[in-house]
Amino acid sequence: MKAGRITVSSRKFEVTEVPTPNAGAGQVRIKVGAAGVCLSDVHLLEGILSPGYLTGDQVTLGHEVAGTIDQVGQGVDSCSIGERVVVIAGERNVSNQITTLGFDYDGGWAEYLVINAELVLLIPDSLPFEQAAIIPDAVSTPWAAISATGKIQAGESVAVFGVGGLGIHAIQLLRIVGCDKVIAIDPREDARANALARGADFAFAPDDPELKKHRGLHAAFDFAGVTPVRKQALSLLGEQGRLIIVGIANEPIVIPNDMAFTYMRTQIMGHYGSEAHHVRELIEFARQGKLDLSHSISEILPLDQAAEAIDKLANKIGNPIRIVLKP
């Protein structure tokens, strides 16, 4: 079968032929219907990120995956051949360490994927594979940041810094929560326009003086992973305001004024990933028609063009939200 694989030591990527895997005990094999291309895939190829627990030097990329079960291993009774599923993007290994699909073990940029059966969730027939595939990570990460880390409540006012692949979904999800005011901040004009179309009340460039009129916010999210964003976000928060950092800058977090920080009882929280129940909740939102991901798929490319997809995302060609690969 074909698979898009990286040699970690050289960061060389290629779509190549590999043996088709078979499901072992407790596993299922999935015929991949769609797999998302994420900025973290780009960061892995660029050397910004590295696998934490990979055995060996090569791995198949792809941690956003949906498809159809076509083989069931011994002892599996929780799912059946023919069922449409999405894959949870990570699990704990035997040492209780969190490992990530497409980083620490083979992912879904392939024709087939073998995965532990407890890591798949059923999806309705009404949800296309390309939309379902991006729910784990592109949608579940902001949802977990909003609902679990930030604990955002209906009626609160919130700013979202960086409305790309994660932030644009945060805009939609904050609307589902019932926020009173949702503000998008992004230097790109087309990203701001997209944020308004997806439900933001206001959209500003970071240097827009009008932004200061919205001080006193309950919370702000950094999806941009840009250090100056944190200082600006802190300046917009009201008493007991929360800054939730999701984007990674790999730089120190600086508190500009500790007196103001303590007096206002400001909180800074880090967030990473999501749990299985967050994915379940989002599938249900989609099933009920509350969550529309049709606008999130910027382009669908064949697996053979994975390198082109990587280049488009890395260089923001067409400013994609998510590019999806189909074997």
| Residue located via tokens 């910004």 | 48
The CA–CA distances, whole Å, from 187 to 191, 193, 226, 248 equal 8, 11, 12, 18
Domains of the chain from N-terminus onward: 2-134+293-326 (3.90.180.10), 141-270 (3.40.50.720)
> Which DSSP state fits 201?
S
pLDDT on residue 124: 95
Distance CA(282)–CA(293), nearest Å, equals 11
Burial of 68 (0-12, 13-18, 19+ CB in 10 A): middle
List, run by run, the mean pLDDT of 10-residue segments along the chain (327 residues).
96 96 96 94 89 93 97 94 94 82 95 96 96 94 96 97 94 97 96 95 96 96 93 95 92 89 94 91 95 93 96 87 93
Q: How many CA atoms lie within 13 A of 319 on its CB side?
A: 15
CA quadruple 176, 180, 185, 190: dihedral positive or negative? positive
Give the pair of three-digit tokens for residue 201.
Answer: 């009340």
Tokens representing 260? 């103001």
- The neighbouring-strand residues paired with 325 are 35, 301
By CB neighbour count within 10 A (0-12 exposed, 13-18 middle, 19+ buried), where does 50 fall? exposed
Tokens 């049709």 sit on residue: 294
Looking up tokens 């500003």 gives 204
* 42 contacts: CB under 8 Å, gap ≥ 6: 310, 313, 314
Cα 24 from chain centre: 29
| Alpha helix positions (H), 26-126 | 39-46
Residue whose token pair is 């200061």: 212
* Alpha-carbon gap, residue 174 to 226, rounded angstroms: 22
